[in-house]
Chains A and B, each alone.
Chain A
Amino acid sequence: METLLDLWAGYGSTVTFASVNAFFALSTYAVLSTGVLSFTTVVFAAVGGFLSAQMAGKFGVPLWAAFPMAALGGGFAAAVVAGAFLRLESHWMALASLALVLITRVTALNTPLLTGGVNGLIVPLRVEPLELALLLALCALVFWRLHRSWYGLAARAVREDAAVASTMGISPYRVQFAAFLISGVVGGLGGAALAFTLQFISPETYFIGIAFTMIASTVLGGSFHWLGPIVGAAVFTALPTAMQAIVPQIEDVAKGVVLLLIMIFLPRGLIDPRAWGLRRAARLREENERRQQAAERDAHA
């Protein structure tokens, strides 16, 4: 028990930040799983974060009410973004969403009434790691349901080949719009989770750093299954800590090299259902051959 507590003291914050990053990664995955590369999760996180922080700070809203508000705020922002950006071709979509992240930071800096501006905001509430874990579990449950539903099937079809999906009656626009709404809600929750973890937020909190962390987590863990982003966030968050323990001088370089190696050797991520399917197919083929050989032997005997 003693050692467990020590472990928690040493790595507890890593676990907490891994869960926060898991929200961002899941939000990115939500749109990526319909074939859209978008960095706007950062925007939804900023909306959710500042909204919940202000609600808690100015109006004394309790934690259990602040999170749903953040989710709603993120979802609303997502609806606006999807309406404006979904008509763009995928390369432009990626560029535009990245530009929107830059714009969001400048906007936040220049609206001190809403965001505290350069000085940032002190957040009076704190979320416990266990509460965060529960919320993440709830999100995971939703993604698990979605994966096995008609929406999940349509999302995979649109991602793999939107033109073919459309000739089967699936509207890529509507599926991707729904994906943005999910991304917005989860991103908003992540933004609030970050605010209630750091207890201090400023426009710099919701910036490029999150964008690259969440994309790296998602791709690292695998963007073809909802478990991927969660695993990826855990690995990507633990990586610097691990590197600091092993090679403290060049921890950043080592982190980059590990990321590079994983990407080159496991380009579809750590969690890859297709690879399972391919392995299964290979095993089935082997079994069939063995059975056939056995049948031939029996026929001979």
Chain B
Amino acid sequence: MHDGASILVLDDLVKRFGGVAAVGGLTAHVRRGSVHGLIGPNGAGKTTVINLITGLFHPTSGSIRFEGAALEAMAPQDIAARGVTRTYQNVRLFSGMTALEQVMTGCWLRRGVSLWASFLGLPAASAAWRASRDHAMHLLERVGMAHRADELAETLSYGEQRRIEIARALGSDPKLLLLDEPTAGMNAAEADAVGRLVHELRDAGLTILMVEHNMSLVTAFCDSCTVMNFGRLLAEGDPRACIADPAVQEAYFGRKHDADRIQALR
């Protein structure tokens, strides 16, 4: 298809847990510099795909290529080092860390100083630490959380925690950002802010793959999308076209004629 332009290519990806195939032969392409939606009904295998790409699970078969490199056998930390970071469906911040510390942890890969130098407190290391601190502060500003920098993340609201998680994922200057339902539990204004942020990041050159439930948000945020059901590809391409696809309609809202019959029964 459009391989030269694709930053991420999933080819016939399969993941089985025992006898159950959570992902059963998914093929998908994510274009560089786009916001790509990964959508589908509950239990379609979306989060499993994110876990496979980031190396938390390893696929049963099939391949994952990121900028031409095979990710399927790599450890999560090596995948992160290649420029793929993520957020989680249920916010997973570190307990006991302030907002700033969370984001600084995210800056691990760009700390630019050896652990020894950091331990000995060499001048270069102090400078690097300050630089990471400033970078983390800047990211917190970007998600509108700078005023909460020194507070324990677990004392903040759910929406605020989501934004800190996004800042943390941006800490290492990734090339591909995976957002797993970034707007879950947010009100409309907060969700809009996330949408604006996502577009800003894309305009700055980042590629974003996001799992999203809300169809109107998908059409508003995404340049293209992949629709999954039962671990398989249902449709791919322009979000509006995808959603209009009868197969997608059926997966989400049931069979047309079932719906008609229900209508008739009323």
Contact = CB atoms under 8 A, between A and B. Distances in A.
User: Are the chains A and B members of one assembly?
Assistant: yes
A239 B120 CA distance: 37
B98 interface: yes
Interface-centre pick from B79, B81, B96 (highest chain A CB count, 10 A): B96
A145 B96 CA distance: 19
B146 to A, nearest CB: 15
Nearest to B56: A163
Nearest to A161: B92
B108 A277 contact: no
B108 A281 contact: no
A151 B115 contact: yes
Chain A contact residues, majority secondary structure: helix
A134 interface: no
Interface in B125-151: 129, 151
B96 A281 contact: no
Contact of B85 (A168, A171, A274, A281): A168
Contacts of A178: 115
A167 B76 contact: yes
A156 interface: yes
B80 A167 contact: yes
Given A149-B115, A150-B118, A163-B56, A169 B109 contact: yes
A107 to B, nearest CB: 34
B47 interface: no
B151 A150 contact: no
B86 interface: yes
B94 A169 contact: no
A71 to B, nearest CB: 16
A168 B106 contact: yes
Interface-centre pick from B76, B80, B101 (highest chain A CB count, 10 A): B76
A170 interface: yes
6 contacts: A150-B111, A157-B97, A167-B54, A170-B105, A171-B77, A277-B151
